[in-house]
């Protein structure tokens, strides 16, 4: 009986927090700024914070993943005598799957955790209360710019990740492993399509961005305003964000590429 009660309480709590976070997202995104100039300035600052500062980890990871994919792809394809298809393999894997997913995971770890910790600390030091007491809506001033910056930056970061990965894979397969450069690019050109591959990847990374940034800012906003509470909220952001990305990836892949 106790187990059923706990299960019911858990499900009820989950639905309740889902509803609250939904209202939170709606209120943050659809409250128009009072001063547009100030809103743009805050947005640009957050683009720098969550987007530009994430570039290093995205570029370095993209390069290494591209190189590893080229090595693994070459070793398998060469046994079938089709090593020229390594370009196709690299492009499709990165654009459809690894670009959006790995960027999302890295974004959750780097920018998502930083957002949660920053907002949580603002709550603990009464900065959010201070905005409220000044009659300034913290959802509009603090949350909205971070949400919008994260949602717009992540698809761009995912494209940069894929581009760097393809370039690094080309360096390994063409200049190191000796794959003919013409067939490397030709196989890619023949099999990669803008609407089905590139756009689907962009849509995926957009959905992941909404999920990760929503989780990150909500966790920061509702966390216990103590050092332990902020630490727990940051961990929850990374765990929930990563799981959300992997779960959503399965659903989106099934919808986009599963021919059934």
Partner 1 sequence: MWFIEGFQDLHKRNEFSWHIFYYNAVLVSVRFCYRESSVEVYIDVKNLSFSRGGRAIYDDVTLQIPKGKITAVMGPSGVGKTTLLRLIGGQVMPNSGTVAVDGVNIAQASRKELFEARRKMGMLFQSGALFSDMSVFENVALPLQEYTNFDKTMIRDIVLMKLQSVGLRGAAHLMPSELSGGMARRAALARAIALDPDLVMYDEPFAGQDPISKGVLVELIQRLNRAANITSVLVSHDVEESLSIADHVCLLSGGTVILSGTPEEVRSSTDERVVQFLQGHADGPVAFHYPAQEYREQLLERN
Q: Which stretch binds partner 1 (CB under 8 A): 7-15, 132-140, 188-196, 241-249?
A: 132-140
Does 23 bind partner 1 (CB under 8 A)? Our answer is: no
Q: Between 100 and 138, whose beta carbon lies closer to partner 1? A: 138
* 129, 196, 227, 235: which one binds partner 1 (CB under 8 A): 129
Within 10 angstroms of residue 243's Cβ, the number of other Cβ atoms is 13
By CB under 8 A, tell whether 224 contacts partner 1: no
Check binding of 223 to partner 1 (CB under 8 A).
no
Q: Distance between CA 193 and CA 183 in Å, rounded?
A: 17
Q: Find the part of the chain contacting partner 1 (CB under 8 A) among 8-16, 55-63, 126-134, 156-164.
A: 126-134
Residue 130 interacting with partner 1 (CB under 8 A): yes
Which one, 5 or 35, has the nearer CB to partner 1? 35
Near partner 1 by CB under 8 A, which window of 54-62, 121-129, 143-151, 251-259?
121-129
- Candidate residues 11, 44, 60, 134; the one interacting with partner 1 per rule CB under 8 A: 134
44 touches partner 1 (CB under 8 A): no
Q: How many positions of this chain bind partner 1 (CB under 8 A)?
A: 15
In the numeric block, which tokens belong to residue 33? 């700024």
CB-based contacts of 153: which residues, under 8 Å, 6+ apart? 47, 50, 51, 54, 111, 209
Helices marked H in 78-126 — which ranges? 86-92, 99-107, 113-124
Residues that bind partner 1 in the complex, under the rule CB under 8 A: 34-35, 38, 122, 125-127, 129-130, 132-137
């Amino acid at each position: 009986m106790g187990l059923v009660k706990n299960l019911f309480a858990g499900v009820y709590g989950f639905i309740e927090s889902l509803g609250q976070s939904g209202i939170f997202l709606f209120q943050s995104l659809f409250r128009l700024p009072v001063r547009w100039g100030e809103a743009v300035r805050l947005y640009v600052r957050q683009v720098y914070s969550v987007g530009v500062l994430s570039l290093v980890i995205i570029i370095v990871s993209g390069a290494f993943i591209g190189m590893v994919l080229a090595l693994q792809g070459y070793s398998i394809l060469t046994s079938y005598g089709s090593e020229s298809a390594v370009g196709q393999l690299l492009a499709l894997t990165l654009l459809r799957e690894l670009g959006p997913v790995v960027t999302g995971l890295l974004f959750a770890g780097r920018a998502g955790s930083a957002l949660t910790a920053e907002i949580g600390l603002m709550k603990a030091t009464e900065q959010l209360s201070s905005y409220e007491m000044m009659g300034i809506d913290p959802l509009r001033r603090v949350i909205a710019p971070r949400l919008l910056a994260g949602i717009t930056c992540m698809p761009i970061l995912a494209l940069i990740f894929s581009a760097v990965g393809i370039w690094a894979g080309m360096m390994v397969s063409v200049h190191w492993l000796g794959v003919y450069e013409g067939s490397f690019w030709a196989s890619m050109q023949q099999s990669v399509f803008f609407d089905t591959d590139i756009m689907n990847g962009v849509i995926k990374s957009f959905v992941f961005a909404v999920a990760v940034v929503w989780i990150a800012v909500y966790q920061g906003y509702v966390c216990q305003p103590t050092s332990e509470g902020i630490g727990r909220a940051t961990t929850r952001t990374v765990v929930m964000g990563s799981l959300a990305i992997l779960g959503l990836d399965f659903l989106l892949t099934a919808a986009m590429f599963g021919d059934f």
